[in-house]
Amino acid sequence: MTATSFDPAGLAAAVPPPPWPGPPLPPAIAPAPVPASEVARRSPITHVRYVALATADLAATVAFYQGIWGLYEVGRDGDVVFLGAVGSPEPYVARVRQAGERRTDLIAFGAPDRAAVDGLAARLGSDGVRIAAEPGTLQLPGGGYGFRFFDPDGRLVEVSADVAAKPFREIEAGESVPRKLSHVVINSPDAPGLVAFYERYFGLRLSDWLEDRMAFLRCSADHHSLAIAAGPVAGLNHVSFEMRDIDEYMRGTGRMVRHGHAPLWGPGRHSSGDNVYSYFAGPDNFVVEYTTALERIADEDAWVPRVWPASPEYADRWGTAGPGEDLFALWHRTPPESGLWVPAPV
C-alpha cells in the first residue's frame, strides 16, 4: 500500500471557491419626481402608538398578552385593560376591551406636538374626512391631546401628542419580551388608494412594495411603521412587536412553541425591511408577530423604493419559514371587520 502524498503547493492551482453572489435583488423602480419640499417635509406622525382590540373573552386575551406574549398590565378601567411593553415609554402598546364581539377598536399614532394634531385634524376635516372626535384632552392612561377620524375604509384612527411616558428600561440580553410596538399592517380593498391617503395626510413615505400586494410606509428611519395589504375586505392584517435582537426573538418564538402556539409562518427573514418574523394566531385569531432587525433608512433622499417579488426566496430568505398556508387560511376565514365606521365606546 502506497502512502498518498499531499502537496500543499498544488492548492494554488485548485479552482477557487465561487464568490458569494450577494443577496438576490429585485430591479429598482425609478423614483417618481417628487418636489424637494415634499421630500424634506417632516411627517406629522412620529410613530405608531398602540392598537385597541375588543374581545368576547377579556380574561383569556389578557392572559395571553401578559402571560405568554410578554406585555404587562399597566392599568385597568372597568372592562378595559391597558398593556405596556417593558422597553417602551408608551403608556401602553395594546388596549383590550371586553365586548360581545371581536373587533378592532382603533389604531393610534403619535404626533410631535399639539399643533400637528390640530393641523392634521383641520386638514382632514376640511377635505371631508369624517372626524369621530375633535381634538381635545384624552381621558386615557398617559393623557395627552388627540383626535379621532375614520380613514377611507372606515377604520377608526387616533392621533395624539403630549402623552406622558411610563417608566421603561433596556431589555436585557436573553430577555424575550417585546421592546416596543414595531408596526401595524392593515388590509384594504383599495390598497393603492389607502396608500395615497396616508402619504398625503400622514406624510408617510413609501419604502417598498411587495408586488402589488403590500406597501410598506415609514414615518421615521424605521423601514415601515404602517403597511397596507391588498385584501377583499378592510381589517387588521397583523400587529408586530419588536424584540431586542435575533436571540431574544428566537427565544420568544420558542416560548410560544412551548405553550402550544406553533408559528403560522416563521421563523424567517423578509426581504422588504430585512426583518425577521414569526407570526402567530393570538386570541380571536388576531395575528401577532415577533420581529427584530428591521432595516433603517438613514438617507431619505437616496432611498429608492423597490418592488419585491413574493416568491419564497424573497419572502423567506432563510428558507426556514414553511409555506405559510396556515396563516393565509386564517386570514381567509377571519370574519369581516365589524368596527368600520363605528366609533369605539372608549
Distance from C-alpha of 274 to C-alpha of 216, rounded to nearest angstrom? 12
- Stretches 39-47, 248-256, 289-297, 332-340: which one binds Fe ion (CB under 5 A)? 289-297
Binding of residue 334 to Fe ion (CB under 5 A): no
Residues 6+ apart with CB under 8 A from 108: 48, 49, 50, 51, 52, 146, 157, 158, 159, 160
DSSP 8-state class, residue 161:
E
Q: How far is the CB of 248 from Fe ion (least distance, A)?
A: 17
Residue 31 or 323: which CB sits closer to Fe ion?
323
Of 207, 240, 271, 334, the one binding Fe ion by CB under 5 A: 240
Residue 145 or 279: which CB sits closer to Fe ion?
279
- Stretches 34-42, 55-63, 188-196, 285-293: which one binds Fe ion (CB under 5 A)? 285-293
- Stretches 87-95, 122-130, 288-296, 299-307: which one binds Fe ion (CB under 5 A)? 288-296
| Nearest to 282, CA basis, from 40, 53, 89 | 53
| Nearest to 102, CA basis, from 337, 332, 281, 280 | 337
Binding of residue 188 to Fe ion (CB under 5 A): no
Is residue 106 within 8 Å of residue 140, measured between CB atoms? no
Residue 150 or 277: which CB sits closer to Fe ion?
277
Question: String of b and e for 101-111 (b: at least 16 CB within 10 Å)?
Answer: ebbbbbbbbbb
| Ordered strands of the 276-281 beta sheet | 265-269, 276-281, 287-292, 235-242, 180-188, 226-230, 214-218, 205-210, 306-308
Size of the site for Fe ion (CB under 5 A): 2
Q: How far is the CB of 277 from Fe ion (least distance, A)?
A: 6
Binding of residue 187 to Fe ion (CB under 5 A): no
Residue 88 or 240: which CB sits closer to Fe ion?
240
Q: How far is the CB of 76 from Fe ion (least distance, A)?
A: 28
Residue 151 or 289: which CB sits closer to Fe ion?
289
Strands 156-161 and 103-110: parallel
CB-count burial class (<10 Å; 0-12, 13-18, 19+) for 292: buried
Is residue 183 within 8 Å of residue 224, measured between CB atoms? yes
Crossing angle of helices 114-126 and 191-202, in 10° steps, is 130
Residue 55 or 240: which CB sits closer to Fe ion?
240
- Stretches 90-98, 206-214, 281-289, 318-326: which one binds Fe ion (CB under 5 A)? 281-289
Residue 95 or 238: which CB sits closer to Fe ion?
238
Q: How far is the CB of 147 from Fe ion (least distance, A)?
A: 27
Residue located via cell numbers 385634524:
121
> Which stretches of the chain bind Fe ion, using CB under 5 A?
240, 289
